[in-house]
Amino acid sequence: MKNNRHLLQIWFVFKQYIFWMLFFQFLRSIFLIYNINEAQGNNFIEIIRAFTAAFALDNSAAGYIMMLPLVLGIFKSLFFPNIFFQATKFYHYLIIVIAVSISIAELPLYDEWKVKLNFKAISYLVRPMEVFQTASAANIIFGTIAILLITVLAIIVFNRYVAHKKYAQTSWIAALAHIILLPVFFIWGIRGGLQPIPVHLSDAYYSKSYFLNLVAVNSQWNVMNSVVKNFKYKNTNPYKFFSDNDATNTVNEIHHVAKDTTIEVLNTNRPNIILILLESWSADVIKALGGYDSITPEFDKLASEGILFENTYGTGGLSDEGISAVLSGQPSLPSVIVVNQPDKYVKMPSISKDLKKAGYYNYFIFGGQLNYGNIKSYIYSNDFDEIYEDKDLPKSLYRGRLGVHDGYLFTYFVHDLKRLRQPFFAMIFTLSSHSPYDQPSNTKFFWGGDAQHYINSVNYTDSCLGAFFKQVKQLSFYDNTLFILVSDHSHHSPRGWHPYAKEYRRIVMLWYGKVIKPEYRGYRIKKYCTQTDLAITLLKQLNVPSSQYLWSKNLLNPHSQSFAYYAYNDGFGWVSDSNYFAYLKSEDRLLFHSFCSQNDSLKHLKYGKSYIQKLFDNYLNM
């Protein structure tokens, strides 16, 4: 082969392919080692199988990468070999940088969200300052060094073992071979073969372990697949299970109430309303909800005197999804972000808009930067009279990486409330329980594994809630104020739930205040719900029109049905009093399920699938 220029050119193609197949395994090893604690409970053979299960997606990713080098190889083999050889090298350098960046970026992402890099995560990169603010200094430094070091080493290896200058030669036989190899790499590589169904994400799934399946998934292929799907779903409903009439009738059945009535739990229909949106509060940290003891003692005190919604679930997993669920009653969708699309969210109803029409003065405050997740433009479109974020607050307030910490923000908030015209709707969004968890408090809990910093941050915010209520109880409007505390979404806890499981998605919702009739203080609502149900439940108490909230139900109507829908990147979950399932779209199967009977399974599967079908149709038609 040393003296055969034809074979050298063909061998160069296969060396490029081999490089990428080995490099993918190297990047996979980094993901596995970085998160090795996640693999506990699996034997060595099961863990190693991730590297063989990865072949189909690795091969497909390598096939995509090899398309351009094959085309360049045709021209290189016919004329200008040096120019096209250098072009091939620099192309691979670029892909190396992209591949390494994807693999390193998803290490802290998995810590926080328990998913691999996807379109939703990438969409935040259009606002890079958010990434730098929410990531810890260690993550930024480690990530930058790792990307630079691995990229340099990969390029050195590529130059030494793959792209030797001897491959810059002409050969019409090699050009013909490149032409033949193009469809081979497309069919065998990209498509995965001649079988009816092309290579799919589920081809890498081999284990009952969620983490090991993610290890096997090719990160670069996953990102590309997620981006392509997201753009495709902007105009196409991927959750089309039934005829439109059939799905419509089923959703109408889900939302049907025998009688449009409500339990009146307030002693006035025009209270002031203070809505506290709690960043990442999971039910697992709340003793009153069956969670750990001592993390949130102040919240537990409030729960004993308020109305606690025991079975509340976060409809999505991000703050922008949570805030639109709370204000607009908008359920989350698996593959799209409504708040990132102004043409969509301007058509959604909003509690703040409806309260404005009812004579309320609207106020919003957040200690961080509202451009996170495009929340700023959404909030500014919702009829708030005053909106404050980090840049609008006094420089004297103590700040962390993300902005003003909760204790200082609550103190400022109490002071500002005194001047608001009544009745008012005042919304405060906490931030200290978001990574990087640099809250100004001593570590109280030394357990919890990788969730230790999180539970300490929640404990800090809880102490801030206690201080806030001590201060606000001294103000004249307190007796006529309804306080609503609700999570924007959940968070992983020391209990280690699967991120798609219902236990992971359970969150906090509480009503509190002297405007609640004495007989309902300490009352518990057991009906299954999400934050989307806050809209109608609240507006019904105020006698404010609420029919525009198509996806919200009145939790204080004894006749409304008990269910919760939540979405994640790859499907959705459905929970009711005694039936539950979590559906994986990529595999068209149930990841989790618990049904009372076969009839119940058929009934609730149709409920959930019809619900998401009509929800996605509604999104497309906005």
Each residue's pLDDT tens digit, 553-609: 999 999 999 999 999 988 999 999 999 999 998 888 999 999 999 999 999 999 999
Each residue's pLDDT tens digit, 17-65: 999 999 999 999 999 999 999 898 899 999 999 999 999 999 999 999 9
Residues 230 and 119 sit within 8 Å (Cβ to Cβ):
yes
Residues 215 and 28 sit within 8 Å (Cβ to Cβ):
yes
| Pairwise pLDDT comparison (521 vs 108), residue with the higher score | 521
Cα distance between residue 226 and residue 97, in whole Å? 19
Q: By mean pLDDT, which of 221-225, 473-477, 513-517 is the weakest? A: 221-225
Structural domains in the chain (count): 3
Q: Does residue 199 share a domain with residue 337?
A: no
Cα distance between residue 118 and residue 543, in whole Å? 42
Residue 311 backbone dihedrals phi, psi, to 5 degrees: -115, 60
Side-chain half-sphere exposure of 537, counting CA atoms within 13 A: 27
Other CB atoms within a 10 A radius of the CB of residue 367 amount to: 26
Average pLDDT of the chain, as a whole number? 90
pLDDT band, very low/low/confident/very high, at 429 (cuts 50, 70, 90)? very high
pLDDT for the residue 3: 47
pLDDT at 498 over 70: yes
pLDDT band, very low/low/confident/very high, at 225 (cuts 50, 70, 90)? confident
Q: Does residue 382 share a domain with residue 247?
A: no
Cα distance between residue 506 and residue 279, in whole Å? 14
pLDDT at 344 over 90: no
Range of the domain at 550: 264-558
Q: Is the peptide bond before 238 cis (omega within 30 degrees of 0)?
A: no
Q: Does residue 240 share a domain with residue 214?
A: no
Q: Does residue 408 share a domain with residue 500?
A: yes
Question: Could you tell me the CA-to-CA distances from 223 to 115, 201, 317, 355, 359 in Å, in that order?
Answer: 11, 11, 18, 41, 47
Q: Does residue 547 share a domain with residue 572?
A: no
Computed on alpha carbons and rounded to an integer, the radius of gyration of the chain in Å comes to 27
pLDDT at 2 over 70: no
Mean pLDDT of 195-201: 76
Highest mean pLDDT among 74-78, 100-104, 132-136, 480-484: 480-484
Domain stops at, among 218, 233, 248:
233
Q: Does residue 388 share a domain with residue 352?
A: yes
Cα distance between residue 50 and residue 197, in whole Å? 22
Q: Cα torsion for 333, 337, 341, 347, to the nearest 10°?
A: 40
pLDDT at 127 over 80: no
Q: Does residue 384 share a domain with residue 522?
A: yes
Q: Does residue 310 share a domain with residue 243?
A: no
Q: Does residue 434 share a domain with residue 574?
A: no
Cα distance between residue 109 and residue 578, in whole Å? 33
pLDDT band, very low/low/confident/very high, at 373 (cuts 50, 70, 90)? low
Mean pLDDT of 290-314: 97
CATH of the domain at 335: 3.40.720.10
